[in-house]
């Protein structure tokens, strides 16, 4: 190993940590080892150094997941607002066509009334050869007047509707622009966090990457073991609903497909893209993001969960997986990984939600 290799790793941790702090202020990071002076003698990279890298990577990928949720939320809102603008535009077109028709009818009615009221009622009665015909025509005139009033009222109502549609479309457009900006900001943050993580990993040599992978697996095993040792699994005996079975089948059929932030299939997924599409396949549409899944879906106790339920992870609900039973989950972990099966307790559990409660 070249001179100052340990210093290179420590420097990488420091630099990437600084990038992460700028991207996510207020987040606590593992403190890297100090960079040795140029005169320091070469030393081997220890497990402590690799562990520092592992913790830093966890932070970077966690922050990327949070930003991905923000991106997905902004994208979903933008799609909804675009659809609303299209619907309002169609209403405006129909309203304009109706308004043109009403104006034409109103013009014809006004011309007819002008012709009819060219003489007073007394003069028309005196000139009429048939008084009954005059009375009948007077009745028709009254009907025409009522129809004209109704026409004018509908004309005014249509004009009011058109104004409201235009105001609504303008408001939706303003929201759409705001969400486009939010989406762009979130995209930039995701890309920064992932790039920082990849840069940090690229500083490691092959053997160090192997040791990093071992430490990551070890941390997951320890967390899963602690969760199982709590005795929670002996109380979990729920059976999947029919919709849950369909969702589980969909999710497990995606095993091996790559994680891609913002993706919802069919070739790649992020964590909530996988769970939302799995439940959509079961005829149960659910929110697109893990945070909204946590907010909107019914909460159930961990002891009561059944296959198909969704386990939400971390205090900020930034990750989601589907419970398979027997203490296992299927999920899309993070960039560079594929959809896989893991231990349900391998990450800090926030809670469990049920899409088909």
Give the residue numbers annotated as catalytic, written as ranges.
Answer: 271, 319, 331
* CA atoms of 6 and 26, how far apart (whole Å): 28
Can you tell me the distance from the alpha carbon of 200 to that of 29, in angstroms, rounded to the nearest whole number?
A: 14
* Burial tier of 183 (Cβ tally within 10 Å: 0-12, 13-18, 19+): buried
Give me the DSSP letters along 147-160: HHHHHHHHHHHHHH
Q: 257, 338 in Cβ contact below 8 A?
A: yes
162, 95 contact by CB (below 8 A): yes
Q: What is the CA radius of gyration of the chain?
A: 34
Collapsed DSSP state (helix, strand, coil) of residue 214: helix
- 322 three-class SS: strand
Q: Which helix (H) or strand (E) holds 312?
A: strand 310-313
What are the structure tokens assigned to 22, written together? 């700028």
Cα gap 182→291, rounded to integer Å = 16
DSSP single-letter state for residue 233: G
Beta bridge partners of 351: 312
Alpha-carbon gap, residue 189 to 94, rounded angstroms: 43
3-class SS of residue 259: strand
259 to 65, 214, 264: CA distances (angstroms) = 11, 21, 10
Tally Cβ neighbours within 10 Å of residue 37. 8
CA distance 248 to 240: 9
């Amino acid at each position: 190993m070249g001179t100052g290799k340990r210093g290179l790793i420590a420097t990488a941790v420091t630099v990437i940590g600084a990038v992460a702090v700028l991207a996510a202020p207020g987040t606590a990071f593992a403190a890297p080892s100090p960079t040795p002076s140029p005169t320091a003698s070469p030393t081997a990279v220890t497990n402590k150094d690799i562990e520092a890298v592992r913790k830093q990577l966890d932070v970077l990928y966690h922050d990327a997941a949070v930003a991905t949720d923000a991106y997905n939320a902004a994208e979903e809102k933008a799609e909804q607002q675009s659809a609303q603008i299209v619907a309002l535009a169609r209403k405006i077109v129909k309203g304009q066509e109706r308004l043109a028709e009403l104006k034409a009818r109103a013009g014809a009615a006004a011309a007819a009334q002008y012709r009819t009221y060219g003489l007073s009622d007394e003069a028309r009665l005196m000139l009429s050869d048939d008084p009954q015909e005059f009375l009948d025509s007077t009745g028709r005139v009254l009907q025409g007047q009522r129809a004209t009033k109704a026409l004018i009222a509908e004309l005014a109502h249509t004009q009011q509707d058109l104004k409201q549609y235009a105001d609504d479309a303008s408001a939706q457009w303003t929201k759409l622009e705001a969400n486009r900006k939010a989406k762009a900001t979130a995209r930039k943050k995701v890309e920064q966090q992932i790039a920082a993580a990849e840069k940090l990993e690229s500083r490691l040599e092959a053997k160090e990457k192997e040791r990093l992978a071992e430490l990551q697996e070890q941390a997951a095993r320890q967390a899963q073991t602690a969760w199982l040792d709590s005795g929670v699994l002996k109380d979990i005996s729920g059976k999947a609903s029919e919709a849950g079975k369909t969702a589980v089948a969909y999710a497990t059929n995606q095993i091996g497909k790559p994680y891609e932030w913002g993706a919802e299939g069919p070739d790649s997924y992020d964590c909530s893209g996988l769970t939302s599409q799995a439940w959509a396949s079961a005829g149960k549409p659910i929110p697109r993001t893990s945070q909204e899944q946590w907010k909107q879906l019914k909460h159930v106790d961990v002891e009561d969960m059944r296959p198909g339920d969704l386990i939400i992870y971390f205090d900020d609900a930034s990750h989601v997986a589907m419970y398979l039973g027997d203490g296992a989950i299927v999920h899309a972990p993070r960039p560079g990984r594929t959809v896989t099966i893991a231990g349900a307790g391998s990450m800090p559990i926030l809670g469990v939600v049920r899409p088909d409660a």
